[in-house]
A and B are shown apart, each in its own frame.
Chain A
């Protein structure tokens, strides 16, 4: 095995940056923090690419199969010889792919923020948080132990809380950060219980060992876990479903998606990093990491499939009606992650059957680039217009030519127009769906059409529609903002040509895939139709959209109000949980628990006062007590003496 120990540096560099900027940043580096953060992340990115080259092209393969390599492992807490919490680094195709995605998108965001966040008072703090987030995310994807995953999972949650609430003087940002934290917290509880179930039955927390034990149908652990059942489902289903709930919380799957649109209160580059390319795909990554185990349990896989497909469709419908551009992008992210989820759900392990797995991760890969491009583009637009609302925009194509082109490329990519990146990955997903589940295929196809509709609705409203009333008061932004847009645009064009199936498949062997032109006719055709409708409705300012909205009436209103899911949550918490569960518990806590504690405290104080006399300061008394002690000991010994 060759040496991968340098990979340790990839997460440690951002950690170091965080510590330096976090402790000394505001005093010493408030203006240079951006360069320090970007430079250290550049080093991490370069190391990631070196690692990818070494793994994929030099020594990752053994007999044509990509190996799992444990580059580093340190036993942190060992509970028993078998169960321990380790900190380590795993190198396998998905972790290396994620390394590339996380470091390069994060680098783009770091560079973009140089311009976007310039002049912020807490500039260094912002970069410190970004570094902390990057570190946590990298630690998450490199984890060898499922508890290590959980630790970093929480760190990711905490650092995203800090980033979403960055503008803490704004009440809506604080509320959004709290909402994101609380909603994902509930999901994480599921995750933790899932981990404990898997750990209990699998007898280990090590991911590799868990997979090995729970995929062998003959092993004692597997038999135990499938035969033990609770409320009609086997413990394996329970464990995996709970873990999936954790993933669904982070990945904003229905019905745990409500935090994502609100989280757009954070600075826009943060949304590009967290809500496009990295944190929200953590759920997908988690399912993919444990996929061999998931594949043993059809019921939890079908849960993944249907939740994924429904979220994809549901979010796409809402996205068609939103007017805040970041919210449109947020729902579009949710919809695309739904794609990745159901692609995993319909997959199996090995060969052609494993197409869905590969397609899902391929889509994760391409989506990271074009979605962060969309967010950064939106950031540039917001920077220019100082508003998130579509109605304040329009006709920006002349004012911001580079942003315009980049945004167009990203829209084409997400719509799935060949030869842009999204086409290839979406095509694989649709193929996989077509071969395994026709219903899912139908939903996916319709969602694809909706996707191109709302994306081009966004595009036309921002860059065409009416003439801009803005003056050329400042240009398109600094080069530090334009450069990431250009690089990501290039990626959005080219990422689809990566022969992905050679590298990442469900069983590590290369998979032959080909694009079937006949098969592509339906999705591409539908997409083109949807784009034309969007162009017809939104290219020039007119009253057709509002008429259309009026015609859909209730349906439009419902979608506009995000199908009242938020209101439902509020109703349940405010009208049911608080009065019927919360208040009685609060009462009991105040009167019974606290009362008991108060009593305990008072009694303790009283006794403490009473026995004060023993400590008289007289040595002769002490001797007396000494003899008393010997007497007590003697009595005890007599009692035990047999």
Chain B
């Protein structure tokens, strides 16, 4: 019985561990061509994704350090899905890379860390998961081995995240000192309005704000995103962010619910600063990766508004938005990574006249950008709508007004790219690219997701039925 529970509850973590071991064994064996390796890995990752949908059970393990429920499984499935898509998309880049297996082992370890983070019901488990999900990424960011920028990105990531982790750890120890417990579900009942606790909580929030790159803790983002290989950038901007946001909302809503009137204001200030600054920086970017980095910062601002609603809708709209964000952002990154792997071009200038030779890719990128901008009828519109509705439930309509105004500003920079693709003249547009089958599959899944998620109410209803409330 115990063993059974162990396997059922830890199912997803075990599969990932198994894949890591399989990869290690392959590495030890004789050399295989990159292509056959990538076939094997993509199939394995697909199996990993499927296993997440098998019947599951709810419960805890290891003295309730590890806990899982339907919502957590859903979140893990979203992450698994996103990882699979990234893997499909980086096919062209990895095909010629020397260290494919190491790359996957690093990213899978990070994913495993995220799973523990999501399932943690204990601050130590939480911390271990968080670190485990970050440190391998610093190594992965260095994977463009010949580029100096890539090493710079890795170094910046590891230094700034070590810095933020230390502050987070300080916060955790203060919390432990004042409440006497590390179990998240118990902390809530031990909270008093004691200044030291509040300070601990501030450190805690700052740590999170760093990971989700909320302004003013966002400065590392652009440099790291620009320097890292696109697959890692996509991983950082989609998976890391989503995982931390999932963890953030569950901790805020579960452990710190009693402080909600205090963190409401903090979240609002953070979100306003994040949206405005993110937008202002995104306006002037010339590099596509940097541009997407700042646009994703602005997106986080919107997510924070949704979280600030501190309601059931807040949590379901967050998960719904992240699902859509996964689709839209990965569709955009998919096109970028293809273009970058085949031509090495990454700046907006290079995309001028892109439509001429690559109409399919242009449409994919355009739909993705529309969804990121929140233009109806793409799913991105519904996602933002629900987030703002959740935020508006608190009655602060001026915040919603500022957010809506910023949406308009964001149209400018998204449409600037669209304009470059379709309207601008270019003597030497990017030649016609042949799309390998894996990235093609990934792109079509993303586009289908962008279009369908908005219209199929079942998706939102399902998420809503699982969500937590205060």
1/0 contact string of B193-224 vs chain A (CB within 8 Å): 10100110111011001100000110110110
Q: Which of B193, B201, B209, B261 contacts A629 (CB 8 A)?
A: B209
Choice from A77, A614, A622, A640 contacting B220 with Cβ under 8 Å = A622
Query: Which listed residue, A609, A621, A641, touches B284 by the CB 8 Å rule?
Result: A609
Q: Contacting chain B: which of A52-60, A436-444, A481-489, A631-639? A: A631-639
Contact B262 A626 (CB under 8 A): no
CB-defined contacts of B283 to chain A, threshold 8 Å = 604-605, 608
Q: List 23 A-B contacts (CB under 8 A).
A: A75-B457, A76-B457, A604-B280, A604-B283, A608-B281, A608-B283, A609-B284, A611-B281, A622-B219, A622-B220, A625-B217, A626-B160, A626-B210, A628-B216, A629-B209, A629-B217, A630-B202, A630-B206, A636-B269, A637-B198, A637-B266, A640-B261, A640-B265
B397 at the interface (CB under 8 A from A): no
Q: Given that A632-B216, A641-B193 are contacting pairs, would A626 and B163 also be in contact in the complex, using a CB cutoff of 8 Å?
A: yes
Task: Using CB atoms, name the residue of chain A closest to B412.
Answer: A601
Question: CA separation between A626 and B262, bound complex, in Å?
Answer: 21
- Residue contact B156 to A607, C-beta cutoff 8 Å: no
Is chain A's interface secondary structure helix, strand, loop, or mixed overall?
helix
Give the residues in chain B near A640, CB-CB below 8 Å: 261-262, 265-266
Q: Shortest Cβ distance from B38 into chain A, in angstroms?
A: 34
Q: How far is the CB of A626 from chain B (nearest CB, A)?
A: 6
The complex places the Cα of A637 from the Cα of B277 at a distance, in Å, of 22
Shortest distance in angstroms between B170's beta carbon and chain A's nearest beta carbon?
A: 11
Number of interface residues of A (CB under 8 A): 31
Q: Is A5 an interface residue (CB 8 A)?
A: no
B residues sitting closer than 8 Å to A (CB atoms) are 155-156, 159-160, 163-164, 167, 193, 195, 198-199, 201-203, 205-206, 209-210, 216-217, 219-220, 222-223, 261-262, 265-266, 269, 277, 280-281, 283-284, 409, 455, 457
- For A90-116 the 0/1 string (1 means CB < 8 A from B) is 000000000000000000000000000
Judging by beta carbons under 8 Å apart, are A607 and B202 in contact? no
**Interchain CB contact under 8 A, A615 and B167:** no
**Does A612 touch B at the CB level, under 8 Å?**
yes
Asked if A581 is an interface residue, CB under 8 A from chain B, the answer is: no
- Are B206 and A633 in contact, with the CB atoms below 8 A? yes
Alpha-carbon gap, A612 to B284, bound state (A): 9
Query: CA of A614 to CA of B283 in the docked complex: distance in angstroms?
Result: 15
Residues of B within 8 A of A629 (CB): 206, 209, 216-217
**A218: Cβ under 8 A from any B Cβ:** no
Inter-chain contact A615/B216, CB cutoff 8 Å: no
Q: Which residue of B lies closest to A77 (CB)?
A: B457
CA distance A629 to B216 in the complex (A): 6
Residue of B202, B205, B206, B409 near A626 (CB, 8 A) is B206
Q: Which residues of B contact A469 (CB under 8 A)?
A: none
Chain A 140-180, CB within 8 Å of chain B: the 1/0 string? 00000000000000000000000000000000000000000
B197 to chain A, nearest CB (A): 11
Bound state CA distance, A614 and B210, in angstroms?
16
B160: contacting residue among A605, A608, A619, CB under 8 A: A619
**In the complex, A2 has a CB within 8 A of chain B:** no
What's the Cα separation between A628 and B222 when bound, in Å?
Answer: 19
| List of B residues within 8 angstroms of A626 by Cβ | 160, 163-164, 206, 210, 216-217, 219
**Neighbouring A residues of B155 by C-beta, 8 Å:** 619
- Going nearest first, the 5 A-B pairs with the smallest beta carbon separation are A622-B219, A629-B216, A608-B280, A640-B262, A633-B202
A637 contact set on B, CB distance < 8 A: 198, 201-202, 262, 266
Q: Given the known inter-chain contacts A608-B281, A636-B269, A641-B193, please indicate yes or no for A614 contacting B219, CB distance below 8 A.
A: yes
- Chain B residues contacting A604 (CB-CB under 8 Å) are 280, 283, 409
Alpha-carbon separation in the docked complex, A63 to B265 (Å): 63
Closest B residue, CB atoms, query A78 = B457
Given the complex of chains A and B, what is the CA–CA distance between A76 and B281 in angstroms?
37
A622 with B160: CB separation less than 8 A: yes
Please name all residues of chain A whose beta carbon is closer than 8 Å to the beta carbon of B205 when the two chains form the complex: 633
Q: How far is the CB of B243 from chain A (nearest CB, A)?
A: 21
* CB–CB B160/A623 < 8 A: yes
Q: Are A615 and B210 in contact (CB under 8 A)?
A: no
B261: nearest residue on chain A (CB-CB)? Answer: A640
A633 to chain B, nearest CB (A): 5
Residues of B within 8 A of A605 (CB): 283-284
Beta-carbon contact of A611 and B280 below 8 Å = yes
Give the Cβ gap from A623 to chain B, nearest Cβ, in Å.
Answer: 6
* Cα-based distance from A12 to B269 in the complex (angstroms): 49
Residues in B neighbouring A625, C-beta threshold 8 A: 216-217, 219
**A625-B167 Cα distance, complex, nearest whole Å:** 14
Nearest to A614 among chain B residues (CB) is B219
The reply to whether B265 and A634 form a contact with Cβ atoms under 8 Å apart is no
- Inter-chain CA distance A588–B217, complex, in Å, is 42
CA A338 – CA B199 in complex, angstroms?
A: 76
Question: By the criterion CB–CB under 8 Å, are B193 and A615 in contact?
Answer: no
B273 to chain A, nearest CB (A): 9
Tell me how far the C-beta of B262 lies from the nearest C-beta in chain A, rounded to whole angstroms. 5
Given contacts A629-B209, A634-B199, A637-B202, contact A615 B220 (CB under 8 A): no
| Contact status B202-A641, CB under 8 Å | no
- A617 at interface by CB-CB < 8 Å: yes
A630 to B216, CA, bound (A): 9
- Can you name the residue of chain A whose Cβ is closest to the Cβ of B163? A623
CB distance from A514 to the nearest CB of B (A): 52
Given A611-B277, A619-B156, A622-B220, residue A630 in contact with residue B198 (CB < 8 A): no
CB distance from A602 to the nearest CB of B (A): 12
Q: How far in angstroms is the closest Cβ of chain A from B270?
A: 8
Known: A628-B216, A636-B266; 7 extra A-B contacts, CB below 8 A, are A76-B457, A605-B283, A607-B280, A622-B160, A633-B266, A640-B265, A641-B195
